[in-house]
Amino acid sequence: MVAEIKDAPLAGLQWSGSGEACKGGERVLCLHGWLDNAASFSLLAERLTQGADGNTTVAIDLPGHGKSGWHSPGQGYPIWGYTHELKTVIDTMASPVDLVAHSLGGSLALCLAAAFPETVRSIALLDSPGPMVTPENQIASQLRDGVLSRDKLRPSRQFSSIADAVAARKKATPELSESALTILVERNLAKCESHFEWRTDPQLKLTSDLRLSETQVEHLMRAVKCPVLSIRAESGLLPLKFFEHRMGYLQNVDSLQLPGHHHFHLEEETAPAIADAILTFWKGL
């Protein structure tokens, strides 16, 4: 059974094998990718809940995404900036949690596990090699570009129908099937009087003022103590060699590659293999 999360730090969805939300007994926390939302785990969370002896699975809408609130103007969304909010969510759960994290969510999971290792039992990374970086000698130009991008901030895009919004998202992620696109788009749309518009904070599309350096990412990932399962999408966004390099920073990692594109956890054909791999990983903990 799936239910909306209410009276929580962030909006989201909750899957319970017992048919009733288990308050305070949640153990699995799913973190979605950039411009996605909690519904991106709809297929995967159902399988994980059914296969994990009744565990309750929670997928949140990250700040600025889905039905969660936005950050204040100018606050932005740096990778490390989500850590306090995620810690607040985990404090309401049965810590330590098992994190299942896609793309951007994987970077957030690594930040959380590095800073608060006592709160995380394991991480399953889905096509996520960790944070994007800026070379140290480009920090000034990165800051300049970030500040100037604020002058180009645009309001949320409007659509006359859900179908138009699905078509717009299709242009950004053409590999997604129609069913997967619909899952993502419907949760990410707000119904207004005469139109629909994206719920996502337009600030999410601004250039970052600052990013971590590769050295900082290395030290961050080396601080992660829990077991990590890294599942790379065979047709994902980044090359295998880059994944192998980044995974070499982790103390305790198992890596594998499965068929599918970057959003492989959202597709009927590829989600079952991912769920099986995660369940097998959990059994070995």
Catalytic residues: 103
Residues 55 and 27 sit within 8 Å (Cβ to Cβ): yes
| C-alpha to C-alpha distance for 125 and 115, rounded to whole angstroms | 17
| C-alpha to C-alpha distance for 242 and 230, rounded to whole angstroms | 13
Query: What does the chain come to in residues?
Result: 285
Give the tokens for residue 220.
Answer: 């961050």
Q: How wide is the angle at C-alpha 46 spanned by C-alphas 284 and 33, nearest 5°?
A: 85
Give the tokens for residue 103.
Answer: 């793309």
From start to end of the chain, where are the E strands? Answer: 2-4, 12-15, 26-31, 56-60, 97-102, 120-126, 158-159, 189-191, 196-198, 228-235, 253-261
Q: Which one, of 166, 149, 139, lies nearest residue 202 by Cα?
A: 149
